[in-house]
């Protein structure tokens, strides 16, 4: 990533059809934000709108939308060769002393990742999936039936030298849309919007995460789903939501 604005060629190994994989688009936008604005407070929440193909030469333009005493809001527009590809908003907030602290969530039960066979990232699925080791724990499988939900272990295969948070953002969107098990036949999908909140920041770019996704409702060619990531210690790392267009 070089220049002002920041530019790079979309890496073919991270493609999903005719565009860059959404998780990597968001990860590159955050990397651009931290490069242009190196003293940001910790990241707390992200909103992403996927507007067009992120393909060819990409241009990333970060800007501060608002800077308060403890919170900073940063916007990043990602342009591809066909125009605006994505618009992301990052909410960053410095820690504050508070009298309130609780965590009312529990991780789903799952054996260790090595207990399960790899189902994606080994020549299956879209091109970008080869960058991940993914193990199916429960739920359905794409185009094979079962409930419209997934629970899978996932980690990046080659994470040496990667920033842990950039790696996490790229991984957080790695599962197929949760509606896919109930597809009656192969169908194209396209992520429209994605938002997530961070409970804690990662420290290891190559860590395993237990990733869950559930399609809560699907109609009129759109699926609304919830998404969650847990670390191996059973702590929730991230909770998100996504709207996916489905063409089947």
* Ramachandran area for residue 123 (φ above 0: left; ψ -120 to 50: alpha; else beta): left
Where among 25, 60, 94 does a domain terminate? Answer: 94
Both 127 and 5 in a single domain? no
Cβ count within 10 A of residue 156:
21
- Alpha-carbon gap, residue 43 to 73, rounded angstroms: 10
Both 117 and 229 in a single domain? yes
Gyration radius from the chain CA atoms: 18
The 10s digit of each residue's pLDDT in 37-58 is 999 999 999 999 999 999 999 9
Both 128 and 248 in a single domain? yes
Both 117 and 58 in a single domain? no
Rounded to 5°, angle at Cα 245 from 247 and 130: 85
State yes or no: pLDDT of 144 exceeds 90.
no
Cβ count within 10 A of residue 176:
22
Where among 33, 61, 94 does a domain terminate? Answer: 94
Both 64 and 138 in a single domain? no
Work out the average pLDDT over 195-203.
97
What are residue 8's DSSP bridge partners?
Answer: 58
Its sign, for the CA torsion 126, 128, 129, 130, is positive
Tell me if residue 181 falls in helix, strand or coil: helix
Of 138-142, 164-168, 217-221, minimum mean pLDDT range: 138-142
Which CATH number characterizes residue 237's domain? 3.10.129.10
Both 126 and 76 in a single domain? no
At 112, the pLDDT band (50, 70, 90 cuts) reads very high
- Alpha-carbon gap, residue 71 to 145, rounded angstroms: 44
Question: Is there a domain that residue 239 lies in?
Answer: yes
């Amino acid at each position: 990533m070089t220049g002002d604005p920041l530019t790079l060629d979309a890496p073919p190994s991270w493609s999903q059809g005719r565009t860059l994989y959404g998780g990597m688009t968001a990860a590159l936008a955050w990397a651009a934000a931290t490069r242009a604005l190196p003293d940001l407070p910790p990241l707390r929440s992200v909103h992403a709108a996927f507007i067009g193909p992120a393909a060819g030469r990409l241009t990333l333009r970060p800007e501060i939308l608002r800077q308060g005493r403890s919170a900073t809001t940063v916007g990043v527009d990602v342009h591809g060769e066909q125009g605006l590809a994505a618009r992301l908003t990052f909410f960053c907030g410095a820690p504050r002393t508070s009298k309130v602290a609780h965590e009312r969530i529990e991780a789903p039960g799952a054996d260790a990742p090595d207990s399960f066979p790899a189902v994606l990232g080994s020549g299956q699925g879209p091109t970008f999936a080869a960058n991940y080791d993914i193990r199916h724990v429960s739920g359905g499988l794409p185009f094979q039936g079962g409930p419209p939900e997934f629970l899978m272990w996932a980690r990046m295969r080659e994470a040496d030298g990667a920033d842990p948070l950039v790696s996490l953002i790229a991984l957080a969107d790695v599962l197929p849309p949760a509606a896919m098990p109930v597809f009656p036949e192969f169908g194209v999908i396209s992520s429209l919007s994605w938002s997530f909140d961070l409970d804690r920041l990662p420290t290891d770019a190559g860590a395993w995460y237990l990733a869950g996704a559930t399609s809560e409702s699907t109609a009129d060619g759109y699926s609304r789903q919830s998404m969650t990531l847990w670390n191996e210690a059973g702590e929730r790392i991230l909770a998100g939501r996504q709207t996916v267009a489905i063409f089947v």
